[in-house]
Amino acid sequence: MSEPGASDSGQGDCPRIRLVAGGPALIDGPVEIVTESGETVRSDRFTVALCRCKRSALYPLCDTSHRRRRPRSG
């Protein structure tokens, strides 16, 4: 989905964000992230993975904790 007249080139002032099913949000970097507590996290990587499961020890950055299976109950 894009707005009428929007370019699909992925370039320009608008950052590109890709959502991975069951995984992180991938953002074309570099980025500066402001957390809920007001802390600023910076990354100069070309692609930055943001945690969406909130299990990452590096939160708000992804450490692939979403790949670990949860223990079955019952």
The whole-number average pLDDT for the span 9-36 is: 88
At 13 the pLDDT is 78
Alpha-carbon gap, residue 28 to 23, rounded angstroms: 16
Q: Which residue range forms the structural domain that includes residue 49?
A: 17-66
Q: Is 51 in contact with 59 (CB distance < 8 Å)?
A: yes
Q: Is residue 73 part of a domain?
A: no
Q: What single string gives the DSSP state of each residue in 45-73?
A: SSEEEEPSSS--TTTTB--SGGGSPPPP-
The whole-number average pLDDT for the span 6-33 is: 83
The whole-model pTM stands at 0.69
Q: Is residue 42 part of a domain?
A: yes
At 18 the pLDDT is 97
Q: Is residue 10 part of a domain?
A: no
- Average pLDDT score over the chain: 84
| Count of domains observed in the chain | 1
- Residue 2 reports pLDDT greater than 90: no
- Residue 11 reports pLDDT greater than 70: no
Q: Is residue 48 part of a domain?
A: yes
Q: Is residue 1 part of a domain?
A: no
